Amino acid sequence: MPGPSANKLDYTLVALADPKRRAILRRLAQGEARVTELAAPFDVSLNAISKHIKLLERAGLVQRRRTGREHVLQFEPEPLGGVQDWITKQTAFWQSSLEAMDDLLRREDKADKKIAEVQS
Amino acid sequence: MPGPSANKLDYTLVALADPKRRAILRRLAQGEARVTELAAPFDVSLNAISKHIKLLERAGLVQRRRTGREHVLQFEPEPLGGVQDWITKQTAFWQSSLEAMDDLLRREDKADKKIAEVQS
DNA sequence: TTAATATTCAACCATAAGGTTGAATATAGA
DNA sequence: TCTATATTCAACCTTATGGTTGAATATTAA
């Protein structure tokens, strides 16, 4: 989706949203590799993989180091922390809301009992 | 990205990759809401938000319940677990590789010392 | 220098997202 | 029954992805 106003988290999630890119990251988690090596397992063109790597770079998930004509890619886990933070906050919000609703239901229950007492 | 071969995780990550959709999820984490309510904070058309909600549904991140003419949306946190699992495995792979490399370096270091001893 | 290797760049195509407007549907309310 | 409200559907536009092929660049090796 990223237009001109996209932020880091957007880029990270876009980068992770493709199975080939996730496979590339898994591969890089075991150690650096060159573009050709990364492309080998896939049955698409080298150019296609080159583009995938660019999206991973944009997200900060890989870093590139040139050694002569070879480009060595390295896995950079930091942006994954941003995703985890978002998920953590999101579920935290949700759970606190559930607890709040629980309280509310409990209070309503008490009120109902009071009314029942008065009416009985 | 999802073509015909997209899986659940793909859909989840695509859904999370847009800030408006994340904002909708944050809103829904505090409690259910109707489409119009969800659309209110944004300066895009109701139709645009309707489409965003559809992508969230596709990912299983929200559930829809119709009450007369109103559609009530509810947050469904389950798919977020899949994202967390992936990240956990990815970083686990990476750390074990780092440790393996560490061992390797230590061994090489020992070997170097032996060589140094022999040569001295 | 010449030839092979490693990568990107450029141009192109198809599909999915993200948005718009206008019409269709369905339900609620006067 | 009319009319307003809540949502989706359909058609269209633009941009980003994901892919291709062919050419350009840079570096290594003969």
Give me the residue from A1, A17, A25 closest to B90, CB to CB. Answer: A25
B118 pLDDT higher than 70: no
At residue A92, what is the residue type?
A
Q: For residues A27 and A14, what is the distance between their CA atoms, to the nearest angstrom?
A: 19
User: Tell me: the pLDDT tens digits for A28-71?
Assistant: 999 999 999 999 999 999 999 999 999 999 999 999 999 999 99
Chain C nucleotides close to protein (CB under 7 A) are 5-11, 15-22, 26-28
Q: Quick check: helix, strand or coil at residue A34? A: strand
CB-based burial of residue B19 (10 Å sphere; 0-12 exposed, 13-18 middle, 19+ buried)? middle
Q: How far is B69 from chain A (nearest CA, A)?
A: 25
The pLDDT-based confidence of B102 (bands split at 50, 70, 90) is low
Residue B35 has what pLDDT? 98
User: Tell me: the pLDDT tens digits for B5-56?
Assistant: 889 999 999 999 999 999 999 999 999 999 999 999 999 999 999 999 999 9
Can you give the residue ranges of every domain in chain B? 8-76, 78-120
User: Tell me: the pLDDT tens digits for A80-117?
Assistant: 999 999 999 999 989 988 766 765 565 555 454 444 44
Residue A4 has what pLDDT? 76
Residue B3 has what pLDDT? 74
Q: Is B94 on the interface with A (CB under 8 A)?
A: yes
The pLDDT-based confidence of B113 (bands split at 50, 70, 90) is very low
φ/ψ of A5, rounded to 5, equals: -105, 20
Please state the three-class secondary structure of chain B as a single string.
Answer: CCCCCCCHHHHHHHHHCCHHHHHHHHHHHCCCEEHHHHHCCCCCCHHHHHHHHHHHHHCCCEEEEEECCEEEEEECCHHHHHHHHHHHHHHHHHHHHHHHHHHHHHHHHHHHHHHHHHHC
Q: For residues A106 and A99, what is the distance between their CA atoms, to the nearest angstrom?
A: 10
φ/ψ of B68, rounded to 5, equals: 65, -130
Residue A98 has what pLDDT? 73
Domain A8-76 sits in CATH at 1.10.10.10
User: Could you tell me how many residues make up chain B?
Assistant: 120
Q: Which nucleotide is nearest to B42 (CA to C1')?
A: C19
User: Tell me: the pLDDT tens digits for B55-73?
Assistant: 999 999 999 999 999 999 9
Q: For residues A15 and B4, what is the distance between their CA atoms, to the nearest angstrom?
A: 19
The DSSP string of A51-87 is HHHHHHHHTTSEEEEEETTEEEEEE--HHHHHHHHHH
